[in-house]
Structure 1
Amino acid sequence: MRQVHLTVLLSFAAFATAFLPSASQHDHRSTKDAKVLILGGGVAGVIAARTLHRKGIDDFLIVEARDELGGRMQNYTFGVPGKQYTIELGPNWIQGTQTGNGTANPILVLARKHHVKNQYNNYDSITTYDYNGFKEYRHLLDTSYNQFVQTGVVAGERVETQQVDLSLQSAYGIIGATPKNLYEAACQYYEVDWECKYFLLSRLDPANHCDGTSISCTGQNSWIATAWNNNFTFDTDMGGFSDTNNLCIDQRGFKTIIQAEAAEFLQPQQVSLNSVVTSIEYSDDGATVTLTDGTTLTSDYVLCTFSLGVLQYGDVAFKPALPSWKMEAIQSLVMATYTKIFLQFEENFLMAIYADKERGRYPIWQSLDHVKFFPGSGLVFVTVTGDFSLRIEAMEDSDVQAEVMEVFRAMYPNITVPDPVAFHFKRWNADPLFRGSYSNWPASFLPGHSTNLRATVNQTLWFAGEGTSLKYYGFLHGAYYEGLHAGGEIAKCVEDGGCAGLQHVNTVLDASPYPFVSITP
């Protein structure tokens, strides 16, 4: 029986090296503005463009809403004058690197190629606290990890026997591992909400006080999808890269990997920055994309690499409206939010787990003031996820800082903890260009939804991004592989003068019918 095992889990660069297509490349020029419009200049969009270029197709245009390439790879200059550092507001880790001479994560390959500094992130040195200060419960981390592994083992058994998918919350209940107190809940948060990925983010209930009877964080995660998503990245026995994560500490920003890669093949006229898409009109004959300033762009093919959150929110109008099978696929996923709250102090603090009566209340604290990161920086960041992220996005920065410091001072009751000299976090859900951080499969996960999320509409409208990746959703390398795949398939269409595109499933069916003839009176 196969078992599914779990392991721990741009300003736009100068085009000095860009070049014109060689005479040997095929001429696929369109009578429209471009043969292919690539909407979004993140990892998926740039890698799709690179794939087209390598196939000899340079009649494309990347349409990017921001003033640089990189998508959610965004950095920020943080700290008081004289002690400022580049911090990553979005993706920060190369997750699953490489084992020996095995297959390397393509994000690691890009980082090596462009000399983007990254450092192994060791999570072993952890101190544990509750609202009364230091509290030793590190031994529960091993228990929590073993329980998480067990959910993966049982998930594999369910796959083999074709049992219906359930939530991770159900999985913990089935194996008898429901947290019984706030310390067990905090350790489970560390394993599931924070460390196990990736970070596969759950929607937390900020009103849920952790009395040992509820694990709402796991209620939105697919049991089976969580297992294989983790395996394909971290478990080498299942085709993953490695069980290690590297933290990007390059002062140019993590986005350098995609901006420097783009600079090797893009010409300035192949990118339109500060171009926000408002609508896409499509048919079998091509598409017309309209921008906020009224500009229209026409093409034979359109590749949408928008965030799942943007598609769910309806920020871009499709004309005609997307078919029901596509809309169901889009709405079948959860757009999760993962927030890093940065603080700078005059002194250093260690990595910590904080157990509060309210599950998910500022639980994971990491110090960047480390000899291998930013020594002497006084930088700390605390992570919140899901609905707790949404909650603080609705608050003033000063009120969030006050809450954070209340927790921080509770962790150190015997010393005077001063206010931070700098404070910052990004509101990912409120950003209309993203509407969240990562896509996540909920408990209602069905493979047909993944097929339909990726499928083309009218052979003209294509979709790619980390959210369309069945194996690597939520990861940068998921966006990479999806850009590679979409670019290759579109190139075939261009070369052949048309194609059927990626097919969809008309109706995603349940495993077995309900025992009712009708649900109407």
Structure 2
Amino acid sequence: METCNDFRKDSSYIKRRRSPSVIVIGAGFAGISAARALHNASFKVVLLESRGRIGGRAYTDYTFGFPVDMGAAWLHGACQKNPLAPVIGRLGLPLYRTSGDDSILFDHDLESYALYDTDGNQVPQELVKHVGGIFESILKETEKLRLEISDDISMAKAIAIVFETRPDLRLEGLGDKVLKWYLCRLEGWFAADADTISLKSWDEEVLLPGGHALMVRGYRPVINTLARGLDIRLGHRVSKIIRDKMGVEVIVDNGKSFVADAAVITVPLGVLKSNSIKFEPKLPNWKEEAIRDIAVGTENKIALHFDRVFWPNVEFLGVVSSSSYSCSYFLNLHKATGHPVLVYMPAGKLAHDLEKLTDEAAASFAFQQLKQILPDASKPIQYLVSHWGTDVNSLGSYSYDAMGKPHYLFERLRIPVDNLFFAGEATSLAFTGTVHGAFSTGLMAAEECQMRVLEKYGALDLFHPAMAQDQELLSPPLLISRI
């Protein structure tokens, strides 16, 4: 037991405590930001993390001798309005803007695509741009469709209906394959297949201005800075959370127990879905419904490190094909970071299928996709493979709106239950699936937790909003480049 008094046995627990206390579960961006804000508010904070590292689904790997983000890598909304801008700006971390477009469809500028067919012939750039415009028109038609129907349908079905009502938007031959590639990229945004994505809610996410930018040095410097000075217990996998009017008790796998006034739960939605954490008493039905019905997608990365650059100086290399499943795309890290690395990014069913392979076989599959379009490609000297879908600490990459499920479930997932507070990208109604979404919900949970606990202590006059903690009035501008 980590404290002298068990809140379930000692009714004078609160009165005798020297400072309010909180247990934060999960050391990703949501957990770290919540712990940082509560620590700054003079709370006693213990942060429990199941992994042997911090960062959660933001993981910067240095195996190649330089940083490669194998999880979150972009800042979506490269502007001062982004909640992470003050931290990134103060650290002077460089960003590489991949697109100034604020849409989810074009997170890279069209001129930075190099698409090929499976015979290795490059698709003319005029056709790439033309089909991009067609795909935008198709999505606008789906917007009209959802106003006409009462029940939700999948994006795949909606697009099929559009083709029936607007046959002029149909494409044949190579153009149709390029269209399938754009659908593949849309699926990559949600880490899910189009036949599971909600027509009603797919574009509910709020997109900040400034376009999309890669973290050139990775996210690790940001998470390390936010974590500095916090009491973080690595290798502490939570198995049970017990709550009552006096506080919470959190039990980890090795039997160790922690008690506090409240807990902030920031574990990934996939972990909550697995029921590996038992709640006593059980969570209310509305909370369990949110956990059950919000969908989690999977997108993985296979990073291939080469001894030389043999590919064109574009941001994306793509393979067009007759189905979105068989399309491929590679992120060119050399253009953004100067390192000879291509990152293959399978999503949805393809990501799940590749997770069944060994790392060597998965890397070989990615290389064979590359060989289709660049026959003279040299073999990689190193590779890295992520497993976000099967990793017991994540069980998925990020959340999205499933067909037939209301968007307000994300807000329900965030709402506190007694002295339990929830944060993470899946609790962000506006910024679902993003790092800044996770970060901002951590701050929000910290603020709500601080108010609730200080109210219990009769010390609300000591309350200072978490959002104002550790923030300078004027933060340095973001360092954004475009090579």
TM-score by length of 1: 0.74
The residue that corresponds to 1:261 in the other structure is 226
SS at match of 1:61: strand
SS at match of 1:339: coil
Q: Which amino acid aligns with 1:299?
A: A
The residue that corresponds to 2:429 in the other structure is 470
Question: Is contact 2:306-2:340 (8 Å) kept?
Answer: yes
Question: Is contact 1:279-1:291 (8 Å) kept?
Answer: yes
Deviations 1:394-448 (A, max 9, x none): 11223223322322222134x3x33221122111112111111111111123144
Question: Is contact 2:325-2:349 (8 Å) kept?
Answer: no
Deviations 1:267-294 (A, max 9, x none): 4xx3222211111122333221111221
SS at match of 1:256: helix
Structure 1 residue 194 corresponds to structure 2 residue 180: no
The residue that corresponds to 2:247 in the other structure is 286
The residue that corresponds to 1:96 in the other structure is 77
Q: Which amino acid aligns with 1:383?
A: M
Q: Equivalents in 1 of 2:447, 2:115: separation in Å?
A: 48
Structure 1 residue 48 corresponds to structure 2 residue 10: no
Question: Is contact 1:74-1:255 (8 Å) kept?
Answer: yes
Residue 452 of structure 1, CA deviation: 2.3
SS at match of 2:346: strand
Structure 1 window deviating more from structure 2 (403-412 vs 134-143): it is: 134-143
Q: Where does the alignment leave 5 or more consecutive residues of structure 2 unmatched?
A: 1-13, 100-107, 459-483
The residue that corresponds to 2:403 in the other structure is 443
Q: Equivalents in 1 of 2:410, 2:138: separation in Å?
A: 23
Q: Equivalents in 2 of 1:201, 1:30: separation in Å?
A: 49
Residues 332-343 of structure 1 aligned to structure 2 (within 5 Å):
332-343=293-304
Overall identity of the aligned pairs, in %: 22
Residue 186 of structure 1, CA deviation: 5.1
Q: Which amino acid aligns with 1:74?
A: Y
SS at match of 2:255: coil
Residues 173/29 of structure 1: CA separation in 2 closer, same or farther (3 Å cut): farther
Residues 297-376 of structure 1 aligned to structure 2 (within 5 Å):
297-348=258-309, 349-350=311-312, 351-357=316-322, 359-361=324-326, 363-370=328-335, 372-374=336-338
The residue that corresponds to 2:200 in the other structure is 224
Residue 380 of structure 1, CA deviation: 1.2
The residue that corresponds to 2:8 in the other structure is none
Q: Which amino acid aligns with 2:191?
A: L
Q: Equivalents in 2 of 1:307, 1:30: separation in Å?
A: 34
Q: Equivalents in 2 of 1:456, 1:328: separation in Å?
A: 14
Question: Is contact 2:293-2:405 (8 Å) kept?
Answer: yes
Q: Which amino acid aligns with 2:437?
A: G
Question: Is contact 2:250-2:259 (8 Å) kept?
Answer: yes
Structure 1 residue 115 corresponds to structure 2 residue 92: yes
The residue that corresponds to 2:477 in the other structure is none
The correspondence for 1:64, drawn from 33, 37, 49, is 49
Residues 196/357 of structure 1: CA separation in 2 closer, same or farther (3 Å cut): closer
Question: Is contact 2:151-2:404 (8 Å) kept?
Answer: no
The residue that corresponds to 1:398 in the other structure is 360
Q: Equivalents in 2 of 1:120, 1:63: separation in Å?
A: 34
The residue that corresponds to 1:485 in the other structure is 444
Residue 38 of structure 1, CA deviation: 0.9
Q: Equivalents in 1 of 2:435, 2:72: separation in Å?
A: 8
Question: Is contact 2:155-2:194 (8 Å) kept?
Answer: yes
Structure 1 residue 383 corresponds to structure 2 residue 350: no
Q: Which amino acid aligns with 1:85?
A: F
The residue that corresponds to 2:133 in the other structure is 146
Structure 1 residue 171 corresponds to structure 2 residue 136: no
TM-score by length of 2: 0.80
Question: Is contact 2:298-2:347 (8 Å) kept?
Answer: yes
Q: Which amino acid aligns with 2:112?
A: S
Residues 186/37 of structure 1: CA separation in 2 closer, same or farther (3 Å cut): farther
Residues 193/132 of structure 1: CA separation in 2 closer, same or farther (3 Å cut): closer
Question: Is contact 2:306-2:382 (8 Å) kept?
Answer: yes
Residues 162/186 of structure 1: CA separation in 2 closer, same or farther (3 Å cut): closer
Deviations 1:461-500 (A, max 9, x none): 221110011111101111122112111111111121189x
The residue that corresponds to 2:480 in the other structure is none
Question: Is contact 1:344-1:379 (8 Å) kept?
Answer: yes
Residue 148 of structure 1, CA deviation: 4.8
Structure 1 window deviating more from structure 2 (116-125 vs 179-188): it is: 179-188
Residue 336 of structure 1, CA deviation: 0.9
Q: Which amino acid aligns with 2:87?
A: L
SS at match of 2:262: strand
